[in-house]
Structure 1
Amino acid sequence: MTADGTALLDIARQAIAIGGDLLKNTRPGQVERKGDRDFVTDLDLRIQDEIRRYLADAAPEIEFLSEEVNGPQPDPETADAMWVLDPIDGTSNFIHGIPLSAVSLALVQGGAATVGVILAPFLGLEYFAIAGRGAYSNGHRMAASQSETLEKSIVSLGDYAVGANADRKNQRRVALTTALASSVERVRMFGSAALDLVWVAEGRTDACVILANKPWDTAAGVLIARESGARVTDSAGNSHSFASADTVAAAPSIADELLTLIDDIG
């Protein structure tokens, strides 16, 4: 692969613009059930297909991974270079007319994201980063918040689990919600992992805890959060990777306090 980071970012931003335009200007038609309380729309699939076609033409040597592709997919930890797409992050929000949804695209090389772009078209917000070059919102450099204590922090949570073993998984999520409710300024749940992560990057929130880690949900957002100066780990405090079980991003000054709280709930 010969294209440099700036050229690849330009490709990613153009791809995201295609998806964002469709997301903003198209209502969901057919809605299908993927599993227990988990849905996909015809627009998820259309955005995925149109972005995939664009990327195949613009960078044919790069593999492709997306949430809504059926069948075997490449492994982001072992592929030389791979685009990782979530065509609509926050599909349930989109179906219900809640404007908290985004298109998320990352370029992964050597097991880590090197380019990330997230577009929230209903909010008019675009976020992007190149590894080692900082993170930007609508073209302006971002920095994570300087909150010094959880008591003065807003922390967002990823969605509660659905599907197999949801009740067991949600015991930990409910315990975490309870612990945060008595420790932080406010708890929020946006329904989009991409927005959870970029809003920590932008300093709108001070931390997020997502007790899951799907590559299409987190690849772009983790890079953007890190490039803003946020600390991104798993819930045990280990540096976040695609192998992590979960995802925690926080302002550096509150990260240890938040991780201790998470550890206390088990």
Structure 2
Amino acid sequence: MQKEIDIPVILDAVKKVGDLFLHNYKTNNIPQTKSELLQQLDNIDERCLESLKSDLDVHYPEIPFRGNEFDYEEQSKAIDITEYWLCDFMDGAIQYLQHIAGWTINLVLVRNGQPYFSVIYDPMANEMFWALAGNGAFMNGHKIKPSPKKDNSVMIAVFEYGHQESGLEELYQKTGAAVTNLLRNFGVVRNYGPHGLQLAYVGAGRIDVFYQEGQDAYNWLAGILIAKEAGADVTTTNGKPWTWGDDSLMVTSPGTGKSFIQAKSNS
């Protein structure tokens, strides 16, 4: 039998590691070569994992940590174990290393092949987003919900892209066409950086549309659960309900995605 999770314990563990990095923010030398970049990224992963394991293994020694953000074959479906922690140790790590705002600590508990609990912590804003399947989504203890906007001219849409090593030309073309369509249909179009935080922002009513072509499940899962539990629409870019393994994602305030697809088909 799977035991119930202690949400405050998990939130504290994530906050601890996020605040550790906040304390050291802008103290690193900005990497100048690819080898320096990769080494600093590895250092971030190691420090995050060490901190989270030291705190969470005490309470959940039976739950392993899994997941490789850049293994696109692995992330096309859930790993075949009952439950595991899936950690995007620092979403927006490039921004962190470049001394730019827009980085978070993300953690997902996958149970029986689906996200069961997720948390996204933004240390610079001191904002903790989290959701438990079937129980709503919250930010700093307050329930969140998507925007009620109906006027596309005041909506904010964001687009993202993955880092796949195959099919890049097709992905570039799809992404370029998507940006054009977003610009035609929404008042403001941006690319912000941390995938999960942008999805949480849809759930909190700060962003109206998140759009991405390509497979990027490990970057999405924490934010997908939060957005879904908040009441956002979670679909593929052609409007079908999103399921793990789909190679595109659109998350919007209720009804916005459907009207966007209709507008595209009529243009």
TM-score (norm 2): 0.85
Cα distance between partner residues in 2 of 1:24 and 1:177: 33
Cα deviation, 1:69-120, whole Å, max 9, x if unaligned, reads 99x9796353211111011101111111111010100111122111110001
Report what 2:140 is aligned to. 138
Contact kept in structure 1, 2:162 and 2:214, CA below 8 Å: no
CA 1:150–1:164: 2 relative to 1, 3 Å: same
Cα-Cα RMSD: 3.0
CA 1:2–1:165: 2 relative to 1, 3 Å: closer
CA 1:30–1:155: 2 relative to 1, 3 Å: closer
Contact kept in structure 1, 2:69 and 2:218, CA below 8 Å: no
Report what 2:168 is aligned to. 166
Report what 1:57 is aligned to. 58
Task: Give the superposition deviation at 1:164.
Answer: 4.6
Cα distance between partner residues in 2 of 1:30 and 1:93: 10
CA 1:68–1:248: 2 relative to 1, 3 Å: closer
Task: Give the superposition deviation at 1:58.
Answer: 2.0
Structure 1 range deviating more: 75-84 or 228-237: 75-84
Report what 2:81 is aligned to. 79
Contact kept in structure 2, 1:20 and 1:121, CA below 8 Å: yes
CA 1:58–1:110: 2 relative to 1, 3 Å: same
Report what 2:10 is aligned to. 12
Task: Give the superposition deviation at 1:3.
Answer: 2.6
Cα distance between partner residues in 1 of 2:266 and 2:60: 46
**SS of the residue aligned with 2:186?**
coil
Matched ranges for 1:124-203 at <5 A? 124-159=126-161, 161=163, 163-203=165-205
**SS of the residue aligned with 1:158?**
strand
CA 1:143–1:198: 2 relative to 1, 3 Å: same
Structure 1 range deviating more: 200-209 or 25-34: 25-34
Contact kept in structure 2, 1:112 and 1:241, CA below 8 Å: no
Cα deviation, 1:121-161, whole Å, max 9, x if unaligned, reads 01211101111111111111100111224333111111464
Contact kept in structure 1, 2:149 and 2:155, CA below 8 Å: yes
Structure 1 range deviating more: 236-245 or 122-131: 236-245
**SS of the residue aligned with 1:57?**
helix
Task: Give the superposition deviation at 1:68.
Answer: 6.4
- Structure 2 unpaired stretches of 5+: none
Matched ranges for 1:15-34 at <5 A? 15-26=13-24, 27-28=27-28, 33=34
Counting aligned pairs with the same residue, the percent is 23
**SS of the residue aligned with 2:109?**
strand
**SS of the residue aligned with 1:252?**
coil
**SS of the residue aligned with 2:54?**
helix
Cα distance between partner residues in 1 of 2:50 and 2:29: 16
Matched ranges for 1:101-140 at <5 A? 101-140=103-142
Cα distance between partner residues in 2 of 1:161 and 1:2: 35
TM-score (norm 1): 0.86
**SS of the residue aligned with 1:103?**
strand
Task: Give the superposition deviation at 1:252.
Answer: 1.0
CA 1:49–1:258: 2 relative to 1, 3 Å: farther
Aligned residue pair count: 261
- Structure 1 unpaired stretches of 5+: none
Which letter does structure 1 place at the counterpart of 2:216?
Answer: K
Contact kept in structure 2, 1:77 and 1:112, CA below 8 Å: no
Cα distance between partner residues in 1 of 2:64 and 2:92: 24
Cα distance between partner residues in 2 of 1:37 and 1:263: 42
Cα distance between partner residues in 1 of 2:238 and 2:61: 38
**SS of the residue aligned with 1:22?**
helix
